Structure 1
Amino acid sequence: MLLGGIPLFNSVLKSNATTNLWRIAYPLFLILINILLAKYYNRKYLLLVLLGALIFGLNGYRTSVIGILVSVFITMYYIGKISHKIGILFVAVIAVGGLAVGYIASQSIATQHWTLNPIELIFYRAAFTQEVFEKIIPLAGTTHGHILSMIFSSGSPRSFIGNYVLHYDVCLTSTMFGPVMLDFGYIGLTIQMLFMGTFIKIIHTFAKKGVGIGIYSIILTHTLIWIETGPTDIMIWFLYLLGLILIVLQLKK
């Protein structure tokens, strides 16, 4: 309503859809729906999950839809609520939701004319993202932490990568390895991956029930999403901070 239309069907609106309202609403919904299911599971709450995925999907970003559905899937798995039928249904909804949002958004770009079908588009995006990373490798360590500083400021790391690597004014994904490789080279990449692996394993060790399962699910899900997009979202690093708080509370016990 504030934007004056549905971003999923309008690329101009989509570029303006990541507002402060969205930055608050998405992680808040994500955290609370997973904690709700982990502590007080009821099948009727899955309607809230579908409603949330639909509303955030209208923003035109498939990562929101995948983030909600996959995190809920992981939460339900760890509380023992994923039967064979529900598992198949959930995977189908995740696949259809991700494909649909990505395809519709691509068809809504006024300056581009896509002829790929939804399946081909997924493979194209994966190949393009990896090609961006391939072009980053010779530039390893040349930005000296600039991307990292942009993550925790008002900058746009993905747009900077587009300008710096391909010399286009465009927002690019560059795999989980791309941003840290540009900033700090192979040493930075090694430290990042060691940190992520260790941190997620510690969270997994402490996430036995309730709130812990919900937090673990959202951190794991968005780390998996980072495989394509790269860890350039301050909002998701906030979720890592929640994980750190969980670790500290568990250690105090």
Structure 2
Amino acid sequence: MSIIYSTFTSITNKINDEFHKSFLFTVVFSILEFVENQWVNSYFKKLYPNEDFLNFLNKNRILKYHIFNPLIVLFLFALFLLLSINSPSASLTITLIIGFLSFFIGSAILPRYILNNNVENVIKFDKNDIYSIGFCIVLISIAFFFVSVATVGGIPLLKPSIRYLLKPMFTMPVFLIIPGTCLIASAYLKDYQNKTITRSQVRFRFLFLLAMNCTFLLLLGYRTPLLAAFLVLIIIGFYGNIISLWEVVVGAILGVGAIIGIGYYRSLGELTITSSTSPIYTLQSRADFTLHVLNLLDFIGGNFGVTHGKLLAGAIPGSDLGPRMMVGKLIAWRTEVTVTPTLIGQMVADFGKVGVAIGMCFLGFILGVGFKVMRITQNYFYIGIYSLILTYTILGIETGILDIQVLLYFAIAIFIYLISIVKSKN
């Protein structure tokens, strides 16, 4: 395995070096360096509130130390369910209780019994390797962005009708910009930890990475991947002491407000609601529909499931139907639509209540181990990888964890954590 890693990183390092030596990238980075220096020395930057702004938030230990604890998944899942206009069925209520308890055991209890000794033996990664890998992944995603735009003959943001012509085989690689950004941001965090760059410099670079994500993802007309980019950078920044707690809280409030506002005005434009409708109705109706889907999947799945792994296997490229299309077929016999099944929808459809118990416990355990390793080591890479899998778990509350690239992120994280657990015992 070390030979494969060495070969892979030597290739990515060479590609990274060649691109950075090219005329185009020399010009681009020179411009960015100039803008960064102007930012760092800007008078207007001094007008921005400092870390002590809204200092009363820091007195809350839960917010200060555990705002991105794995248990935030349960809190947000419960909040999402409460948004629904209707209530879950009695059977689904039991399933949810099983899922919540299993996740709590996996994330808060089981990790206490591992990695208590020799944590310094966890795998260490070279910062240059991580940056090079992230840089190459971002290059691939940008290349596929232009391929996607070329295949539909326009920019989906400017021509919304052509968004439905985008082909998943071209758009899925574009979403690699998120893990690529995560790795690059982690490398910048390492530079900040080593005091190679200042806090102002690393904050500017995080803003640039966010702006880059906004540019490419918004032009394609996608909102969920953009939210993923926001969350990844916020979590890395928070645990890397790059952004303050008040910025996280204010950012969350503004983010929720933006989601409500965009959904409301988009619905007004599509004539699906009237101006007299509550602005949060769009969120309520979306949560209500997803809960209705989950009620149906729970009824179909029962105690032991009905599809027995076929739903999860549908994420594999080349499958006749994707997992969300299979959900549409299960509940309505419509294969031309994609339906979001929530975090536990696939588990209950594939393996029933038993599957929810095992799946949520396992998912909680992965996040619990990641959180523990990150908190103990404060290692830049483990902050990044935890941020990535927590982000997609939070987004999966509605959409489910069913995309092949997201499953790959979790597989890599599991592999790294397992090796670290084994090494810690030596």
**TM-score relative to the length of structure 2:** 0.53
Query: 1:44-93: per-residue Cα shift (whole Å, max 9, x none)?
Result: 11122133124213323321111010111111111122225533453255
How far the C-alpha of 1:176 sits from its partner, in A, is 0.9
Q: Distance in 2 between matches of 1:132 and 1:55?
A: 31
Matches within 5 A, 1:112-151: 113-115=271-273, 119-140=280-301, 141-151=305-315
Q: Distance in 1 between matches of 2:328 and 2:361?
A: 27
Q: Distance in 1 between matches of 2:404 and 2:327?
A: 16
Aligned to 2:405: 235
**363, 366, 378: which one pairs with 1:196?**
363
The range that moved more, 231-240 or 152-161, is 152-161
In structure 2, the CA distance between the partners of 1:14 and 1:135, relative to structure 1 (3 Å rule), is same
Aligned to 1:6: 155
How far the C-alpha of 1:204 sits from its partner, in A, is 1.3
Aligned to 2:372: 205
Structure 1, unmatched stretches of 5+, are none
In structure 2, the CA distance between the partners of 1:25 and 1:114, relative to structure 1 (3 Å rule), is same
How far the C-alpha of 1:198 sits from its partner, in A, is 0.5
Aligned to 2:349: 182
The range that moved more, 187-196 or 144-153, is 144-153
Q: Distance in 2 between matches of 1:8 and 1:107?
A: 18
Contact 2:177–2:213, Cα closer than 8 Å, also in 1: no
Q: Distance in 2 between matches of 1:101 and 1:54?
A: 17
Matches within 5 A, 1:18-57: 19-30=168-179, 31-41=182-192, 42-45=202-205, 46-57=207-218
Between Structure 1 and Structure 2, whose CA radius of gyration is higher?
2
Aligned to 2:326: 160
In structure 2, the CA distance between the partners of 1:60 and 1:157, relative to structure 1 (3 Å rule), is same
Helix, strand or coil at the partner of 1:7: coil
Contact 1:65–1:98, Cα closer than 8 Å, also in 2: no
Aligned length: 250
Contact 2:367–2:390, Cα closer than 8 Å, also in 1: yes
In structure 2, the CA distance between the partners of 1:22 and 1:102, relative to structure 1 (3 Å rule), is farther
How far the C-alpha of 1:127 sits from its partner, in A, is 1.0
Aligned to 1:217: 387
In structure 2, the CA distance between the partners of 1:125 and 1:6, relative to structure 1 (3 Å rule), is farther
Contact 2:178–2:228, Cα closer than 8 Å, also in 1: no
Query: 1:2-32: per-residue Cα shift (whole Å, max 9, x none)?
Result: 2223334555432343533432232344333
Structure 2, unmatched stretches of 5+, are 1-148, 193-201
Q: Distance in 2 between matches of 1:87 and 1:245?
A: 30
The range that moved more, 136-145 or 228-237, is 136-145
Q: CA RMSD in A?
A: 2.6
Q: Distance in 2 between matches of 1:106 and 1:7?
A: 18
How far the C-alpha of 1:165 sits from its partner, in A, is 0.3
Contact 1:54–1:65, Cα closer than 8 Å, also in 2: no
Contact 2:238–2:245, Cα closer than 8 Å, also in 1: no
Aligned to 1:66: 227
How far the C-alpha of 1:102 sits from its partner, in A, is 4.8
Structure 1 segments, 4+ long, off by >6 Å, are none
In structure 2, the CA distance between the partners of 1:100 and 1:38, relative to structure 1 (3 Å rule), is farther
Contact 1:177–1:189, Cα closer than 8 Å, also in 2: yes
Q: Distance in 1 between matches of 2:402 and 2:381?
A: 25
Helix, strand or coil at the partner of 2:175: helix
Q: Distance in 2 between matches of 1:224 and 1:57?
A: 20
Q: Distance in 2 between matches of 1:104 and 1:64?
A: 20
